[in-house]
Amino acid sequence: MFVRQMMYLVAVARERHFARAAAACHVSQPTLSAGLRKLEEELGMPLVIRGHRFLGLTPEGERVLTWARQIIADYESLKQDLSPDEDALFGTLRLGGIPATLPALPGLIVPFAASHPRVSVQLRSMSSIAIQQALDDFEIDASVTYLDNEPLKRVRCVELYRERYMFITGTRKLGRRKTVSWAEAADAPLCLLSGDMQNRRIVDHLFAEAGVSPRARIETNSFVCILTHVQTGQWSSIVPHTYVNAFGLMPGLHALALVDPVRSHAIGLAVSDRDPLPPVVNALLRSVRALDLNKTFGAPEPALH
């Protein structure tokens, strides 16, 4: 019962609404309220600030919430670990990925899902800041993100591939060239990610390294939005090579490797640095380490000519 009460506390903190929290826990609101009061009685302190509606947690409630998230995560891991069939892992793998990595995720998930058919996978597109918070709060089990740019804290990492950058455009001025400089790209009418996205901060740094400061005509937090605008032929953009590999380009569009400078950033799998790791996380790490990562995810160095 104690774990169930912890689940109620986590749910009400997440939903910030008693009725929604009860629905998320598949219980009635009186049952949830009674469970919370029982938890407060057992711990000997108020945890929830009550009024006509949910008003927040007490300072003690916030401290208990941190433990509650860990207790729930460990309880789910314990149930998986006690399964009598070691080869029939069950449960859910919760994976967060920054938008720049989303085209590469099938290369990670397909072999894992094939080896563990009883495990469901929940994928979430998240910013790197949200990923850090979700890992700390035990809301996700693993993430795919940058390892060497604004790296996460309190994690264990496995590098997957090096992200390179492609200039996608409909202009015919570039002819049959294979590469374009960052300085040349800065002169194009650009549709880029917004400044709150880590990939955009990387791109801005590379433009600055080339000594130029482009002006984005269109900004968005969605690579899908970027691709649809570039496909009109009115704008150009800069995207990770995995987007070109995964989706290709419409007729009339071109993808050129960016040079002067040639740079790449490490993309990897990051999991919380704790022991023991949940069984689904250990299984994911084993699956990743068995992959030919360069073949699955990598891109060759652009030819400098």
The string of DSSP codes covering 208-249 is HHTT----EEEEES-HHHHHHHHTTTS-BEEEEHHHHHHH--
User: What are 281's strand-pairing partners?
Assistant: none
Segment 59-84 shows an average pLDDT of 83
- Cis peptide bond N-terminal to 261, omega within 30: yes
Q: Are residues 6 and 71 in the same domain?
A: yes
Q: Please check the confidence at residue 13 and state whether its pLDDT lies above 70.
A: yes
Segment 88-102 shows an average pLDDT of 91
Distance CA 32, CA 261 (A): 58
- CATH of residue 100's domain is 3.40.190.10
Residue 107 lies in a domain: yes
Q: 86 falls in which pLDDT band (50, 70, 90)?
A: low
What is the residue-averaged pLDDT of the chain?
89
- CATH of residue 33's domain is 1.10.10.10
What total number of domains does the chain contain? 3
Q: Are residues 130 and 269 in the same domain?
A: yes
- CATH of residue 221's domain is 3.40.190.290
**Main-chain phi, psi angles of 275, to 5 degrees:** -130, 140
Domain containing 31 equals: 2-81
Do the beta carbons of residue 78 and residue 279 sit within 8 Å? no
Q: Are residues 269 and 156 in the same domain?
A: yes
Q: 1 falls in which pLDDT band (50, 70, 90)?
A: low
Residue 302 lies in a domain: no
Q: Which residue has the tokens 């009024």?
A: 51
According to DSSP, the β-strands at 142-146 and 265-272 are antiparallel
Q: Are residues 146 and 283 in the same domain?
A: yes
User: What are 167's strand-pairing partners?
Assistant: 238, 256
Q: Are residues 158 and 169 in the same domain?
A: no
Residue 172 or residue 40, greater confidence: 40
Segment 189-210 shows an average pLDDT of 95
Q: Are residues 171 and 253 in the same domain?
A: yes
